[in-house]
Amino acid sequence: MGEIDRRIAGTELEAMIPKGAAGQRAAVQGTFNQAAAAFQLLPNQEEGKGRWTAAAWAPMRKGWLFLPSTPTLRESVKPLVSMWLDALILRLMESRQTTTAPVWFVVDELATLQWLP
């Protein structure tokens, strides 16, 4: 069993990439490869400056969040920025707290990001 098959076994994702659908598996693998290339640009945990999670941030909503990129890396990190923005929006939508401050998103070049639902 391959790494992907092992990780998705028993999840709803297992139906998305059946073993008998080579073309569909190749398309999903291409998406994984694109994401993996972007994740390789991130520092490992020892190189980072601490941990931050959207789940922990969403209930408090304190501080500013910046998702910057340099012109040379912009295309490479596009999948990450798109994913992070999507995750933040989903976490905020899940939050049932009505007493917290509103959140404003200022997104420059939104149309250049990947599709967001």
Report in angstroms the alpha-carbon separations of 5 from 15, 70, 85, 107.
11, 35, 28, 36
3-state SS track over 28-80: HHHHHHHHHHHHCCCCCCCCCCCCCCHHHHHHHCCCCCCCCCCCCCHHHHHHH
What confidence score (pLDDT) does residue 99 get? 67
Note the pLDDT tens digit of each residue in 7-66. 888 888 788 777 788 888 788 778 777 777 777 877 888 888 878 888 888 887 888 888
pTM of structure: 0.57
Q: What confidence score (pLDDT) does residue 81 get?
A: 85
Read off the pLDDT of residues 61-108 as tens digits, 9 standing for 90 and up.
Answer: 888 888 888 888 888 888 888 888 888 888 888 776 666 678 888 888
pLDDT at 66: 84
Domain boundaries, the chain: 1-40, 45-117
Give the Å distances, CA to CA, from 43 to 40, 76, 78, 98.
8, 15, 17, 35
pLDDT at 49: 81
Q: What is the dihedral of CA 24, 87, 52, 49, to 10 degrees?
A: 60
Inform me whether the pLDDT recorded for 1 exceeds 60: no
